[in-house]
Structure 1
Amino acid sequence: MERFLRTQQLLGDSGFRRLQSSRVVVIGLGAVGGYAVEGLARAGVGSLRLFDFDTIQPSNINRQILALESTLYQPKAKVAEERVRAINPNCLVEAQEVFADQETLATILDPVPDLVIDAIDSLNPKIQLLSEVYKRGIPLLSSMGAALRTDPRKIAVGDIAESRGCPLAKRVRKRLRRVGIETGIRCVFSTEKVTFTYTPPVSDPNVPPANIYENRGRKRVILGSLPTLTGIFGLILANEAILYLSGGSEEGDNMSTTTPH
């Protein structure tokens, strides 16, 4: 198709056919995940299953590709699905407003995808997802912290054991070790040193939650971020996925493709 001619020219006919026959799950459709979906859809990935429980808010406009004046207060999953269809009507896209946790992972991972992209920004759901995907031996790409960074030259890709300079990655490593996982999860992270003070989010008791899951778990801390750095994280995830799925990358062996424990 002319729509994907340049992708096909670069990857070759067989590589592009593999990409078109691939099934990818993306969990988290915010600042990082939205750009990951954008890259996958524009590359011609054949099947996308998208999961996010949240709705688009005015505060998302500074960094989220799905956030527009015309999409405010709509479910991110619904907006993402419509955007993918607008890019590639032939893509088999399914989006669900689902909170990713131990109760829903069986649904999220059925049918078994060729690749899972983790763009969750909450620690507990992230750990639950990474642990389950690793145990099932499903190839995985995960995003560590993209907020608070300003230097794209410090972004790196590697095994979770190699991550450094990222407070989120440090917490993820610690939690994964508790369940016996030390390596085998490929991630995007930044080595840029960050200094910040956590400030609890301020909520107005007279304003109802934006979604039914807002009060589940700990409230997320509001962190400053740029559209450039979060977008680059998402596009790197998409790029890694495209190369792996098309057979154009030797790094695929470094993803979580181990035999389930």
Structure 2
Amino acid sequence: MTDTKWLSRTELLIGNENLTKLHNAHVLVVGMGGVGSFVAEFLCRSGVGEMTIVDGDIVDPTNRNRQLPALTSTHGQSKVDVMGARLMDINPELKLHIIKEFIQPEVVESLLHEKLDYIVDAIDSITPKQTFLIAAYKSGMKLVSSMGAGGKMDPTQVRVADIGKTYNCPFAQQVRKNLKKVGIYKGIKTVFSAEENNKDSLILTDGSNFKKSAYGTMSYLPATFGAVLTSVVIRDLMGEVY
């Protein structure tokens, strides 16, 4: 990295050695929605030197209450393209790989063929999430997964725990159920909320993009999930025990 002045406040906190660790790291972020878009930005602003971002979706007006790429000026545009431009504007020296695809088995195989220092799963649909998590878990690479941020209001109840110890999260419950079918009961670090879901905010959808239902969302909750996920990645890359 030739220009480090913009990271001077980060270096002041973590030191040059840790800043170098982050610069040398390659992190994969799958999903550029309300959670994943914040993860990508926070990682970029933390000085992570290489990133792969993945999403096949486009910006919809309903995304604007919680997703970084969603603006009135970006409706209909690719989420990864919008986020890619934003990340490169933050750090022009970022080694950025953009994958404009939805998660399918063949896509997962190509993604995990790369040598990655960390994987962040921010997929918000059960079927592709299951496909990706099983493959990522079996790869043996470091992994952290986001559970459901919808139907929640209290950011102080966001937690980090093994998938087997999540609770009060219908999304995590379904993920656990699917993973158990293939013999995975634990060993996946997750970020989830211990707050009970607001069941009155649940609606049925048309089933597009593997989503049959959706909860109402508040702007700051997905961002909080993104902050906690990023914290897990950053501190782990630095070698902290927590």
Q: What secondary structure sits across from 1:66 in the alignment?
A: coil
Partner AA of 2:224 in structure 1: I
Query: Which one has the bigger helix percentage?
Result: 2
1:79 pairs, out of 82, 90, 100, with 82
Partner AA of 1:4 in structure 2: L
Contact 1:24/1:116 (CA < 8 Å) preserved in 2?
yes
- Distance in structure 1 (CA, Å) of the matches to 2:64 and 2:46: 24
1:208-219 → structure 2 map (5 Å cutoff): 215=208, 218-219=210-211
Deviations 1:61-81 (A, max 9, x none): 111111112222110011111
Is structure 2 residue 168 aligned with structure 1 residue 165? yes
- Distance in structure 2 (CA, Å) of the matches to 1:240 and 1:164: 19
Deviations 1:91-132 (A, max 9, x none): 101111111121211112231211110000110111111111
1:255 aligned residue: none
Is structure 2 residue 21 aligned with structure 1 residue 18? yes
1:227 aligned residue: 219
* Compared CA separation, residues 112 and 220, structure 1 to 2 (3 A): farther
1:200 aligned residue: 204
Q: What secondary structure sits across from 2:151 in the alignment?
A: coil
Percent of aligned positions that are identical: 36
- Structure 2 runs not aligned, ≥5 long: none
Is structure 2 residue 132 aligned with structure 1 residue 125? no
Q: What secondary structure sits across from 1:222 in the alignment?
A: strand
- Distance in structure 2 (CA, Å) of the matches to 1:224 and 1:3: 37
Is structure 2 residue 46 aligned with structure 1 residue 47? no
- Distance in structure 2 (CA, Å) of the matches to 1:201 and 1:168: 16
CA RMSD of aligned residues (A): 1.4
- Distance in structure 2 (CA, Å) of the matches to 1:220 and 1:23: 33
Deviation of 1:215 after TM superposition, in Å, equals 4.6
Partner AA of 1:192 in structure 2: E
* Compared CA separation, residues 222 and 165, structure 1 to 2 (3 A): closer
- Distance in structure 2 (CA, Å) of the matches to 1:85 and 1:134: 30
**TM-score (normalised: structure 1):** 0.87
Contact 2:88/2:94 (CA < 8 Å) preserved in 1?
yes
Is structure 2 residue 237 aligned with structure 1 residue 245? yes
- Distance in structure 1 (CA, Å) of the matches to 2:142 and 2:238: 14
**TM-score (normalised: structure 2):** 0.94
Moved over 2 A (4+): 197-202
2:141 aligned residue: 138
Is structure 2 residue 67 aligned with structure 1 residue 67? no
- Distance in structure 1 (CA, Å) of the matches to 2:215 and 2:148: 10
- Distance in structure 2 (CA, Å) of the matches to 1:157 and 1:215: 30
1:89 aligned residue: 92
- Distance in structure 2 (CA, Å) of the matches to 1:59 and 1:199: 14
Moved more, 25-34 or 63-72: 63-72
Corresponding pairs, count: 238
Partner AA of 2:241 in structure 1: E
- Distance in structure 2 (CA, Å) of the matches to 1:112 and 1:126: 20
Contact 2:119/2:143 (CA < 8 Å) preserved in 1?
yes
